[in-house]
């Protein structure tokens, strides 16, 4: 049973209700000596509390995407993904894709530019495989997860690609491909920056687009690529278009990390300033469109931080913002933002090239 699946969460809730009911009925009637009966009641109460704590823990995990599988929780994932230097893996041209749940393709590749390797998930819209669109090229939206988190966070906790499918069916977005790479190859958080041998910015801005352009029918232009990130991934979705406007013309951030940068990720103040969206936007104004969203209740992604960034922007950089009245730093809030942010991205992407007549 999946750690993040609804079935596991529902099972825990049912067990919690049954345990409380059983304790209320059975505990007062436990037979035997008084000491044994008291010990039995204490154990039953402890069991109720343990299950209740498990319910809350699973709810928190599903909301934040902290652990995406049992192997992730217990630290038994493949050691190949835990290397902190240049990593092994098949080159992009030899990437092997396997199809998982919800039609999502999974691969693990080695980037020729960054020398890093990591997981990339891909979803193609229904039109991609339809005969009428066999020569059509599609734009790509790259989803950037938070830290802690993983590409599967978007699937298990974020409701992707179902959310895109629903908006497609409603005619609120045009068809696009989803790419979901790891943003911390080797589990090293660099705020999506190049730091020594860990060239995460190069991985995301060069290797992942190269994978998509070589293996799928994409629109290989800046207007054919957009970034959508949350939390740390949101920080990256703002930063990378400013640094690589020839690669990404559009970036959207939901509850981005503080835009001055994370001292834990980049202890060097000079390096942090070079990779801080707040600092970059003061001196650079590329022709990109950015969208930043948060809530009044998110104490980690503060509205004042986003407003300060907005005030510093100058044309041709275009910045849009969204402020929700309620919601915390979690997937429940971010899924509420989809209805606004995904159509916003779709409207700024180049449309899929028309199918042949």
- Tell me the C-alpha distance between 3 and 16, whole Å: 17
Span 94-107, average pLDDT = 92
pLDDT in tens, 166-175: 999 999 999 9
User: Three-class SS of residue 266?
Assistant: coil
Span 278-291, average pLDDT = 96
pLDDT band at residue 288 using 50, 70 and 90 as cut-offs: very high
Span 182-205, average pLDDT = 94
Q: Is the pLDDT of residue 63 over 60?
A: no
Instruction: Give the pLDDT score at 89.
Output: 77
Across all residues in the chain, what is the average pLDDT?
89
Instruction: Give the pLDDT score at 5.
Output: 57
For the chain, what is the radius of gyration of the CA atoms? Answer: 23
Span 150-169, average pLDDT = 96
pLDDT band at residue 108 using 50, 70 and 90 as cut-offs: very high
Q: Whose CA is closest to 341, among 308, 293, 301, 309?
A: 293
Q: Is the pLDDT of residue 319 over 50?
A: yes
Q: Is the pLDDT of residue 240 over 60?
A: yes
Instruction: Give the pLDDT score at 207.
Output: 97
Q: Which helix (H) or strand (E) holds 318?
A: strand 318-324
Instruction: Give the pLDDT score at 7.
Output: 72
Segments in the chain forming alpha helices (H): 6-26, 34-64, 70-74, 151-156, 162-169, 200-202, 208-215, 232-243, 269-274, 277-283, 303-312, 331-348
Using CA atoms, how far residue 8 sits from 19, 47, 70, 91, 292, in Å, is: 16, 18, 12, 37, 34
Span 55-78, average pLDDT = 59
pLDDT in tens, 38-47: 788 888 888 8
Instruction: Give the pLDDT score at 60.
Output: 67
pLDDT band at residue 81 using 50, 70 and 90 as cut-offs: very low
Instruction: Give the pLDDT score at 10.
Output: 80
Instruction: Give the pLDDT score at 104.
Output: 96
- Quote the percentage of the chain above a pLDDT of 70: 89
- Tell me the C-alpha distance between 135 and 137, whole Å: 7
Distance of CA 74 to the CA centre of its chain: 21
């Amino acid at each position: 049973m999946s750690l993040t699946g609804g079935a596991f969460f529902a099972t825990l809730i049912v067990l919690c209700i049954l345990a409380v009911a059983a304790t209320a009925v059975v505990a007062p009637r436990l037979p035997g000596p008084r000491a044994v009966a008291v010990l039995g009641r204490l154990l039953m109460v402890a069991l109720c509390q343990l299950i209740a704590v498990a319910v809350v823990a699973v709810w928190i995990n599903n909301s934040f995407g902290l652990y995406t599988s049992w192997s992730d929780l217990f630290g038994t994932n493949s050691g190949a993904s835990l290397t902190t230097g240049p990593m092994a893996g098949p080159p992009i041209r030899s990437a092997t894709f396997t199809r998982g749940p919800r039609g999502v393709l999974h691969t693990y590749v080695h980037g020729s530019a960054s020398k890093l390797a990591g997981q990339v998930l891909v979803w193609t819209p229904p039109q991609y495989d339809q005969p009428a669109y066999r020569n059509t090229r599609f734009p790509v939206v790259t989803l950037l997860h938070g830290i802690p988190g993983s590409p599967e966070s978007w699937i298990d906790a974020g409701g992707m690609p179902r959310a895109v499918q629903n908006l497609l069916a409603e005619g609120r977005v045009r068809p696009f491909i989803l790419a979901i790479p790891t943003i911390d190859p080797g589990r090293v958080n660099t705020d999506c920056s190049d730091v020594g041998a860990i060239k995460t910015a190069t991985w995301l801005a060069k290797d992942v687009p190269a994978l998509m352009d070589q293996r799928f029918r994409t629109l290989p232009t800046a207007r054919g690529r957009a970034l959508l990130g949350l939390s740390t991934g949101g920080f990256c979705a703002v930063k990378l278009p400013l640094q690589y406007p020839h690669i990404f013309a559009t970036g959207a951030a939901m509850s981005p990390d503080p835009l001055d940068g994370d001292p834990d990720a980049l202890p060097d103040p000079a390096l942090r300033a070079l990779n801080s969206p707040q600092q970059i936007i003061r001196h650079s104004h590329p022709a990109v469109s950015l969208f930043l969203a948060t809530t009044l209740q998110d104490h980690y992604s503060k509205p004042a931080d986003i407003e300060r960034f907005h005030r510093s922007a100058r044309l041709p950089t275009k910045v849009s913002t969204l402020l929700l009245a309620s919601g915390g730093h979690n997937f429940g809030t971010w899924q509420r933002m989809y209805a606004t942010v995904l159509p916003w991205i779709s409207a700024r992407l180049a449309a899929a090239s028309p199918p042949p007549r």
